[in-house]
Amino acid sequence: MFTYIQLFIEFFKTGLFAVGGGLATLPFLYDIESRYPWFDKSMLADMVAVSQSTPGPIGINMATYAGFEAGGIIGSLVATIALVMPSFIIIIIVARFFNKFRENKLVNSVFFGLRPAVTGLIAIAGFEIVKLSVITWDKYIQNKSIINIFDYKSLILFIVLLIVSNKYKKHPVLYLVIGAIAGIVFGL
């Protein structure tokens, strides 16, 4: 029962402060990972991969996955509901008062000020994904060799998909499928 309460509190906070979508939840998930035994960094990388490969919002998929790892089906429900609840409450409040504040300069300034914060959260999330999937600090620390910093298979796959996706404008799902197949075949 205590795990479910912790899940609710942590994912409610994440839902309250992770403005900007699913990838903005990553810094909060790293914080949760460092304080609780529910999942580790490699599982977090799996969560990102699965969440981006499955239909639905990434943040909700990640909350569901993390909740399931921590507390099974009930844990997944608790984490998902807790993540969504702040947005739901805020939307109800905003909708109720929207017409009163639509032209308010202070409200417009607050939303304008949130843009850089959201951009920063998403940039940090992108960096953390690269760090998890391409950079292998553990091997570097063990061998003290600069050559061991990168997971070269992942780096090559990333570069190839980046070049191909920029040259051929195909649906992103195609590149997700190609990346997933390559990951399975090459054991990434």
pLDDT digits (tens, 9 = 90+) for 14-40: 888 877 666 778 888 888 888 888 878
Q: What is the pLDDT of residue 38?
A: 82
140 pLDDT above the threshold of 90: no
At 102, is the secondary structure helix, strand, or coil? Answer: coil
Q: What is the pLDDT of residue 8?
A: 95
99 pLDDT above the threshold of 70: no
Q: What is the pLDDT of residue 76?
A: 93
- pLDDT > 90: what percent of the chain? 15
DSSP state of 39: -
Pairwise CA distance, residues 106 & 101, whole Å:
9
Which residue, among 163, 155, 148, has the nearest Cα to 133 in the 3D structure?
Answer: 155
Provide mean pLDDT across the span 48-59.
74
Pairwise CA distance, residues 59 & 51, whole Å:
8
Pair of tokens at residue 188: 């990434």
Which residue, among 103, 106, 99, 74, has the nearest Cα to 2 in the 3D structure?
Answer: 74
Q: What is the pLDDT of residue 102?
A: 67
At 124, is the secondary structure helix, strand, or coil? Answer: helix
Pairwise CA distance, residues 28 & 121, whole Å:
10
